[in-house]
Structure formats: C-alpha cells, structure tokens
Structure 1
Amino acid sequence: MRSATSIVYAYGVLTNCSDIALDMPRSDLAGLVKNGPLRILPFGNIAAVVCDFVLPNGSDLETLLEDSRSAERLILNHHQVLSYIVSQHTILPLRFGAAFTEDAGVIAALGGRCSELQKALGRIDGALEWGVKTFCDRKLLKQRVRGTGSEISDLESEIAKQGEGKAFFLRRRKERLILEEVEEILEQCVVGTQEQLEPSVIEEALVKLQPPTVHGHEHDMLSNISYLIARGTEDAFMQSLEDLRLAHAPYGLEYQMNGPWPAYSFSDQQLEGGVNDQ
C-alpha cells in the first residue's frame, strides 16, 4: 500500500495581525480527506489561511478533482472555511485549488505577489459581498401596460370598429407597442434600482444571468448583481431593497437577496507555485 501524501491547502489571504483566531469547529470542515486545523502562514503584513490535507493512498489533488463528487465536497469545504472566516475578518479569497507541498511554498508565493495582494485586500477591507437577483413576471407587467397605456386603449377601440383585415394589423401594432412599453418600464426599474442602492454600495459586479434550470424561479431573471457593502451599513442596504420591492411589485418585479459572502466577485487571486502549477 502506498503511503499517504500531505498537502498544504491555501484558502485565502488576510492582513497579518496578532489577534487572529481561527478556531473553526472541526465538524464544519466537511472535506473529503483527513485534514488538520486551520493555520496562519505570515509574510510581512499579510498571511495565508491554510490547512493540512492528508490524501489517502498516495493520491493527489488533481486525481481527486477528476471525480465530480469529490470535487464538490472539496469546493464545499473551500466555501465553508472562507464563509466562517469572513464572519470575523476581512479575507481575500483565493481561487479554488491552491495546494502546495509544504509551508515554504505558500510563503514564497505570498512574497512573490505581496504588493498586489495587499492592494486587493485594501479594496475589500471591512466589506462583505451581497447578491441581488431580480426576477420579472412579464405576464403581469403586460397586463398592467394594457390597462394603463392611452395609445394602446385607443388602438383597442379602433380595432373594435374595423373589419377583420385591418383589425389584424392593428392588433399586431398594439402588441408591438405593449412590448416596447414593457422594455421601457423594465429599463426604468433597473436604473431606479441602481440609483436607490448606490448610496450603500462600495462597488458592484455583474454576474452571469442564470437559466431557470439553475435559479429555479418561475419567472425570468432580469439581473444578477453582486454588491460590496461596508460592514455596519447592511441595514440601510436592506431597507433600500425593501423600498424597491414595494415600489416595483405592481410591475411584476421581485428581488432576492443572498449573502453575506466572502468577496468572490471582487477578487480573482491565485498563488503561483502550487502543486497544480508544476
């Protein structure tokens, strides 16, 4: 039987200080392999949060990640650890899969990108990521447009007076007007949403729209945005979002908020020199 292999896995980077406590409950470290407690590896003013993973039977991280179930469990572990730490400290998430053969490799990688990592940490310092997804009931919105547009009402009256031939073309014109009005209202709602939330937002990032098979909502996704919000200002952000819910509900809009998260959307950092880079 081959001997077990140990790797040092890096989750993220934070500002090095003496009061860092990473006593995460072992039950929350849901990794697929035997792992040790979280540790801090410092380099100057920054430090990496790492954990020792023992890979069974001489396996390696790349082989484990080829199995979808194993990869899913390790990704969950990565997210759980970062989410736990961000509840106490500002942490710069690293890309999933930053594994090294020993501590010295992590420290060397920190040294190689120290200035860039410090700058990235400063960008998100004291902030958390919140996501807001906007959905639209277009059927409800079309009904509202049909009942409020004066030009559309005039067309409906004209259609009732015409024969089938001319009425057909008038109905098509009416539907075009309804669609144009719907898109105009949606654009106004999107702009209004951004203006209302802006005072509480440090930075925002557009996230790819999800298909119904992923988001599971009965209506279309209109927008998917991540916001960087300063700690302590979440209540103002949530109140603004609640005001938007009330104002836009008659137009068929619905907002879903999620978070807080580590600043995934505002960081794309990796450490060079890991076992997967060789």
Structure 2
Amino acid sequence: MSSATSIVYVYGVLTNCSDLVLDFPPGDLAGIVESGPLRILPFGDIGALVCDFILPDGSDLKTILEDSRSAERMILNHHLVLADMVSRYTILPLRFGAVFAEDAGVIAALGGRYSTLQKELDRIDGAIEWGVKSFCNRKMFSECVAETVSEISVLEKEIADQGEGKAFFLRRRIQRLILDEVEKTLEQCLVGAQDQLKSRAIEETLVKLQPPTVHGHKHEMVSNRSYLIARGAEDAFMQSLDDLRVVYAPFGFDYQINGPWPAYSFSDQQLGGGVNDK
C-alpha cells in the first residue's frame, strides 16, 4: 500500500533571520498539494525559507509538474511567497523546484554554498528589483525623425523635376535615409534613457524582449530592462522615469514599470535537489 510522501521545498535564502517572524497568510500555499507553514532552516547567519509539501499517494513533484496547470499554480505560488517576503526582508530567490527529502539535506546544501550565498545576499541587501519596458510608436517616431533630416527636403524638391523613373529611385533613397536615421536616433534615445535610469540604480541588466502576444501593448517593445534599486531610492528612480515620459512621449515612446520583485534578474542561484537537476 502506497503512502503519502513529505518533501521540503525551498523558496529562497535570507540573512540575519534569527528574529524573523513569518506571518505569511495561512492556507494551501501550493494549491495542489497539502502544505505546512513557512519556516526557516538556519545555517550560520543565513537561512533557507522552506515549506513542507505532502505529495499525494504514489506521486512525486516531477510527475505533478508534468501537468501544465499544476506547474503554473506551483510556479505562481513560488512567486507569491517570494513577493510577499521581499516587501519586508532581503531574500535571495532560488530557482523554482528546489526540493529535498528532509531538513538535513537543505542545511547541508546551505553549508556547501555558504560563502557564495552570503556574498550574493550582501550584493542585494537592502535592494529590490524593478522592471522597465519601453515601447515605441514607430510611425510617430519616424515622422518626427524625418523632419530633422535636411537632405530629405532637397530630394523631395528634386523629385518634382524628374521623370517617373528617376523619381522612383529618389523616393527609395528618401526611404533608406529615414530608415537609417530612425535606427540611429532610436538607439540614441534608448541609450540616453538607460543611462538616466541606471544612474539611480545599483545594477541594471538586459531582459529578453517580449512579443506582442505577451506584453499586450499596442506598440513595439524596444527595450526591456531590470534595475536593482536601493530601498529609499525608489522615489528618485520613479521621478527619473516620469522625466523620461515628459521628454520622449512626443516622439512616440511609452514606458511601463513593474515590480517590486525579488532580485530574480540578479540571481541565478540554486541549492541542488531541484526537479531539473537530474
């Protein structure tokens, strides 16, 4: 007769957690498995934020995650727990899926990576992640750029005096001039905006651009970056973003901010024991 299996799931690693009070809302954290309360397993001055999951009879986490709906719910749970914690504490997020058979395995893993984890926690201490997505109305931006290219007006006047054959090639030349100038000016605008936001951040990193089916914006995404911002410096960062909106909105730019998040983009740590490690 099969019996239920208990595993220890690890969300992330905290520092200075001896007096930490965990008050995450009670309930079924995972949504698909019975779970116990959040708790901390300490090692030195760091500790792992964990939860006990009781898996259904004869099942294991890898099997559960083969079902896409179950996987989505557990990934959401992983994020919600970390997002709740980061609003109050510095926590180093771990990759989704770090599981151990018992507490001793977690503690041993903390000991084996102690110096690395401590260094990473020091790096993000007192900071949280904010994401900024930049979008551009290409048509509006191209029209603005075209007005600045003096050679275009000269070519347009020349077209009026030419036959259809040469006029065709002159119009193609105008199109190429505009396209080249648009790309050059777009890059300048992006660099200028990034420099302004980066000056308010501890670190910044590039994130993969998203297709319209994901970002849902009516215009093209031209930049997607994450910024590690010190607590207390968020207002200055937001003000810089508002300043960019004022400057660049007339040229077709729009900015969306998301967060605050745990430092997902600035950490790729794992303890081992994950479902993808085998």
TM-score, with normalisation over the residues of structure 2? 0.96
- In structure 1, what is the equivalent of residue 70 of structure 2? 70
- In structure 2, what is the equivalent of residue 119 of structure 1? 119
Aligned amino acid, residue 2 of structure 1: S
Structure 1 runs not aligned, ≥5 long: none
Aligned amino acid, residue 42 of structure 2: P
Aligned amino acid, residue 160 of structure 2: A
For the aligned residue pairs, the C-alpha RMSD in angstroms reads 1.5
1:30 and 1:57 mapped to 2: Cα distance? 16
- In structure 2, what is the equivalent of residue 43 of structure 1? 43
| Aligned partner of residue 272 in structure 2, secondary structure | coil
Aligned amino acid, residue 25 of structure 1: P
Assess, with a 3 A threshold, how the Cα gap between structure 1 residues 274 and 196 changes in structure 2: closer, same or farther: closer
> Conserved in 1, the CA contact under 8 Å of 2:11 and 2:50?
yes
Instruction: Kindly report structure 1 stretches of 4+ aligned residues shifted beyond 2 Å.
Output: 16-19, 27-31, 145-149, 272-278
Alignment map for 1:12-161 (pairs within 5 Å): 12-27=12-27, 29-161=29-161
2:275 and 2:160 mapped to 1: Cα distance? 74
Aligned amino acid, residue 31 of structure 2: G
Aligned amino acid, residue 71 of structure 2: A
- After superposition, the C-alpha distances for 1:55-93 in whole angstroms (9 at most, x for unaligned) are 112310000111100100000010000000001100000
How far off its partner does 1:275 sit? 6.8
How far off its partner does 1:157 sit? 1.5
- In structure 1, what is the equivalent of residue 252 of structure 2? 252
Aligned amino acid, residue 150 of structure 2: S
How far off its partner does 1:19 sit? 2.2
Q: Percent identity?
A: 74
User: How many positions carry a matched residue from both structures?
Assistant: 278
More helix by share: 1
Aligned amino acid, residue 240 of structure 2: S
1:276 and 1:196 mapped to 2: Cα distance? 39
1:237 and 1:16 mapped to 2: Cα distance? 27
> Conserved in 2, the CA contact under 8 Å of 1:16 and 1:44?
no
Structure 2 runs not aligned, ≥5 long: none
TM-score, with normalisation over the residues of structure 1? 0.96
1:165 and 1:253 mapped to 2: Cα distance? 37
Assess, with a 3 A threshold, how the Cα gap between structure 1 residues 249 and 32 changes in structure 2: closer, same or farther: same
Assess, with a 3 A threshold, how the Cα gap between structure 1 residues 97 and 274 changes in structure 2: closer, same or farther: closer
